[in-house]
Amino acid sequence: MEFGVLFWASIALIVLIIVTLIAFVIYSGLFATIQPGAGPPFIKNVQIAYKFGRGPYNKEVGQYFSEVTSLVPHLRCLGLYYDDPKEVRKCCVRHWDRLENSRKAKPKVDDIDKPNLSLFVEKLPPCMLANCQLVSLQQVEPSKLRWAVGCVLAEGDGEVPQEELQLLLRNGYRVWDLPSVSHVVKCSFPYTTFFSLFIAIYRVYPLMGEYVKVG
């Protein structure tokens, strides 16, 4: 009798855990509606503090988001993803090699392959994606993918918070004024849990890429 009670209690617990995990993933955006479109960007004339890096988006970027969130939790996090996760153009690598070798170098508009600039803006909530356009690219290893992670210091005519700025500079962040663009390919994705970021990466980018190709 006691064995039977324990057995069915264990089965019920396992089912409850599975149902909870499924509900968590769905709540994180697994079946969220994604509608790519074109128009003005979500953000304009922003100044950001960032750290540049290379490596697989799904393995290297998370720790940088965690760092900037712990330093300035009240500021919006932002990530720049310069390449398609499977492709990159060689001339872009040359530009960033030059910038990366100088810590005092401030990226200029001409130094970045603007047509391949993509933004992944994390707002709490929601997360929003904006991607300018995709061009002729070449496949490379995931270790060569380029990205930058940081936060929005000011937008439009807003003032930069000096205390937060000095804190970020002391921790190795650089400051950059994002080039203004008037027309982008964009879509939004709900940010309900940290897992939403991973779902967004695997669901949104393929749809945006397909939208650009068809359009």
Residue spans of the chain under pLDDT 50: 89-138
- Say whether 111 sits in a helix, a strand or coil: helix
pTM of the model: 0.62
Nearest to 147 by CA among 70, 68, 215: 68
Task: Quote the pLDDT of residue 215.
Answer: 66
- Answer for the pair 207, 33: CB distance below 8 angstroms, yes or no: no
Token pair, residue 14, equals 């396992």
Task: Quote the pLDDT of residue 127.
Answer: 29
Task: Quote the pLDDT of residue 51.
Answer: 95
Task: Quote the pLDDT of residue 50.
Answer: 95
On whether the 34-214 domain is CATH 3.20.80, my answer is yes
Distance, CA of 202 to CA of 50 (rounded, Å) = 23
Q: Using one digit for the tens of pLDDT, what is the confidence trace for 184-200?
A: 888 888 888 878 878 88
Q: How many C-beta neighbours within 10 Å does residue 90 have?
A: 10
Task: Quote the pLDDT of residue 70.
Answer: 93
